[in-house]
Amino acid sequence: MKGRTRVMLIVLTSCLLAGVIPGVAQKADSVKSDTIKNKYLPTGIRIGYDLIGQGKSIFQDNFSGWEVQGDVDFNRYFFVLEVGNWGRNLSSDSSHYTNSGSYWRVGADVNFLTKDKDRNMFFLGLRYGRSVFSETLDVMKHDRNWGLLSDTFQHSDVTASWVELTTGLKVKIWKTVWLGYTARFKFALSDHESPEMIAYDVPGFGLTDKETTWGFNYYILMRFPVRKQPPVPDFKKR
């Protein structure tokens, strides 16, 4: 009797496992399929404001400007758009220079902290930048015969473009609030200058006396989720 009961329990257990295991496997395959299918769908939009530009506008008399940044995630890849405005007011004993214009940059960042559960970022990226601006140079000189002479050169609606290599960090500090910085190596400047005046300072790029230059931005950001983020894969060794 005990032997028959044991056989019946084994058969019953086998039947239950035969019904449960395929269902579990099917569910696992479904979750895996959904994860792969939605892997590159955006989960949120992040908007940031540059604190460096704001600080320079407050504490420097010869600069005014601002910049905002937005990014959207596609798994470890981020589409980035940056828009800004700046103007300079520089004076010397014999000249006075002013400029004002707007700029934008567009590109992508690649996150290398793929195992971080808070989804903090260390990234490398690429940008294409473009600026439209106007500038004016007033030059004064003293002539022995005519006295003090002045001349004005103007550069209106000038367009310029350049390329940037970027790197930086973005760290979640509280719920939807992030802090981050972007360091930039800028090169390949191309501007449509006039015969009367060579562009001196390009908004978004900087001074044009060198073929390459560096830039740095420090952002405070807010993240606005659009869908629930998939779980971070468990990379623990078994």
Identify residue 173 by its one-letter amino acid code: I
Give the Cα separation of 151 and 183 in Å (integer): 39
Q: What is the pLDDT of residue 1?
A: 45
Q: List the pLDDT tens digit at each of the 238 positions of the chain.
A: 445 444 444 443 444 334 433 443 344 343 344 455 677 899 999 999 999 999 999 999 999 999 999 999 999 999 999 999 999 999 988 889 999 999 999 999 999 999 898 899 999 999 999 999 999 999 887 767 776 777 888 888 899 999 999 999 999 999 999 999 999 999 999 987 666 788 899 999 999 988 999 999 999 999 999 988 777 766 555 4
Q: What is the pLDDT of residue 53?
A: 95
Name every residue whose Cβ is closer than 8 Å to that of residue 142 and which is 6 or more positions away in sequence.
148, 149
123 token code pair:
């990234």
Q: What is the pLDDT of residue 220?
A: 98
Q: What is the pLDDT of residue 229?
A: 77
pLDDT cut 70: percent of the chain above it? 79
Q: What is the pLDDT of residue 118?
A: 87
pLDDT tens digits, 16-25: 334 433 443 3
Q: What is the pLDDT of residue 38?
A: 72
Three-state SS string over 86-99 comes to EEEEEECCCEEEEE
Q: What is the pLDDT of residue 103?
A: 98
Q: What is the pLDDT of residue 93?
A: 82
Q: What is the pLDDT of residue 94?
A: 85
Going by C-alpha positions, the residue among 104, 111, 126, 99 that lies closest to residue 186 is 126
Q: What is the pLDDT of residue 69?
A: 98
Give the Cα separation of 89 and 96 in Å (integer): 8
Structural domain spans, the chain: 1-37, 41-225
Expressed in angstroms, the distance from the first to the final Cα of the chain is: 44
Going by C-alpha positions, the residue among 93, 97, 103, 156 that lies closest to residue 130 is 103
Q: What is the pLDDT of residue 37?
A: 62
Three-class DSSP category at 226: coil
Its CATH class, for the domain covering 41-225, is mainly beta
Q: What is the pLDDT of residue 227?
A: 86
116 token code pair:
């971080």
Q: What is the pLDDT of residue 238?
A: 45
